[in-house]
Chain A
Amino acid sequence: METWKEFEHNVVTHSAAHHLMAVDDLVRKLGYARVSDVARVLGITRGSVSVSLQPLKEAGLVQQDENRHLRLSAAGQSLVDSIKTKRHVVQRLFAEVLGVSAEQAEIDACKLEHLLSNETARRLVSFLRFVDRGTAESRRFFEALRSHDSQCSHEPSACPSCPSACLADTLRQG
């Protein structure tokens, strides 16, 4: 299967992920979540929230009681937990390891959180555990990584990472 088509097979869309996380956050904070609360948190209309929640209810991820209070099912909670973990891990990877600004790291983590596979996320967690150990090896790794960043010669012929053009140069815009 072509990779781009996998987006169609993702369990939840970006929007759906945020609806689920909003329900989770509200229940943790207020003890309940209503459609109106989710709408305010996400800055969208109640109609939009209601329409978006419908497939999530049908998928068994969200439940609504007789008082119209929302809560996540066990499957929904598990999905939200994994998405939040991925956001946290990706955010840390970008900001703390790669040196991306905290703001940009948060934005990019938000874009990726629901798309990342559990397999890749597990490897990232393992990598962060290596970083967090603070051993001599991990410290040396960081020092080497940071000094290497400043050594780019922008010469593709002398760079093992660049197939033809300088990869760094292609990303200078924007």
Chain B
Amino acid sequence: MFEPGCLPMGGHHMSQPAYGSAPRHTAGGASLSTDELAEELNRVFAEEIEAAMRYLHLANAVRGLDRLTVEPILKRGFSETIQHAEVIAQKIRALGHVPRVELQIACPGEPVTARESLRIALTFEEAALEAYQDLLRRVEGDVPMEEFIRSQIALESAHVAELKELLVG
């Protein structure tokens, strides 16, 4: 569910390991340098920012009677996705980097049905989930980062599950 206030902010997220600019090699085999990790986080940052923009657009593009039920869901998606982006930005800052985002997004100025809006949301939420799953594999061995990414995966999985449930039938 899109639960209000479900920010992935466990205590461990704020206690960052000290990363240097040189490649770091952890016991678990992760060998991403700080720069590489920041780059990976920038990618998911872009995913979240773009998803938020899409949610905002969809919330205002959906038409029909079902708008009454779908609009709050889409707006909640927007709020939570922006929160996710902020958490990622904090992670990037903690690495000594400034979050960087380059987007190429086009949202057509045409109305969409409630069902279509949810289908589109499911499409980009699944993409975000896959991005976190891939990132998890890349940070293997960096336990705090692994835990953080796992918490993000749990949240994204919940989003995907809810959207799938809404689209049944």
Is B120 in contact with A51, judged by CB distance below 8 angstroms?
yes
Is A47 in contact with B106, judged by CB distance below 8 angstroms?
no
In the complex, which range does the number of interface residues on chain B fall in? 20 to 34
Task: Decide yes or no whether B131 CB sits under 8 A from chain A.
Answer: yes
Task: Decide yes or no whether A49 CB sits under 8 A from chain B.
Answer: yes
Q: A36-B134, A51-B54 are in contact. Are A45 and B123 (CB under 8 A)?
A: no
Majority DSSP secondary structure for residues of A touching B: helix
C-alpha spacing A106/B3, complex, angstroms: 49
Task: Decide yes or no whether B2 CB sits under 8 A from chain A.
Answer: no
Is A48 in contact with B50, judged by CB distance below 8 angstroms?
yes
Is B103 in contact with A45, judged by CB distance below 8 angstroms?
yes
C-alpha spacing A95/B137, complex, angstroms: 45
Tell me the number of A-to-B contacts counted with CB atoms below 8 Å. Answer: 47
Majority DSSP secondary structure for residues of B touching A: helix
Is B123 in contact with A54, judged by CB distance below 8 angstroms?
yes
Chain B residues numbered 124-154 whose CB sits less than 8 Å from any CB in chain A: 124, 126-128, 130-131, 134
Task: Decide yes or no whether A88 CB sits under 8 A from chain B.
Answer: no
How many of chain A's residues have a CB under 8 angstroms from any CB in B?
A: 14
**Residues of chain A contacted by B71 (CB below 8 angstroms):** none
Contact with B along A133-145 (1 / 0, CB 8 A): 0000000000000
Is A47 in contact with B124, judged by CB distance below 8 angstroms?
yes
Please report A residues at the B interface, Cβ cutoff 8 Å. 15, 35-36, 43-51, 54, 68
